[in-house]
Amino acid sequence: MLSLTDNAKAAITGITSQSGLPKSGGVRLSLAPDADLVEMSLSPQPERGDAVIEEDGARVFVEEAASPLLAEHQLDAETGPEGVGFALRKAS
């Protein structure tokens, strides 16, 4: 299952609280229509079939079709001059 770094958890909780999402909300990861890119969006709740990852107040919803692709990855975040950026890395 996808795991989250401490930086990702902090970034997700910050983004979701600033966006005004309900407590049931979080960040959703899904496959782009051509299935070669992962898209990230804010969601007020998980969609049917989504895997829900909740760690330290950060909620991530992973689309069912994306779960096998992301299973051995870690979501990380870094803050740069243009704001927060997320990256998927192979879990070690």
Express each pLDDT in 34-76 by its tens digit. Answer: 867 899 999 999 999 999 999 999 999 999 999 998 989 999 9
pLDDT at 29: 96
Domain spans of the chain, in order of start:
3-90
pLDDT at 73: 94
CA–CA distance, 74 with 77 (Å, rounded to integer)? 10
pLDDT at 34: 80
Question: Sheet harboring 51-55: ordered strands across?
Answer: 38-43, 26-31, 58-62, 51-55
pLDDT at 33: 84
Task: Tell the CATH topology of 3-90.
Answer: Hypothetical Protein Aq_1857; Chain: A; (2.60.300)
Going by their DSSP bridges, the two strands 26-31 and 3-4 should be labelled as unpaired
Segments in 1-92 forming alpha helices (H): 6-19, 67-70
Instruction: Give the sign of the dihedral formed by CA 48, CA 50, CA 54, CA 60.
Output: negative
pLDDT at 12: 96
pLDDT in tens, 11-23: 999 999 999 999 8
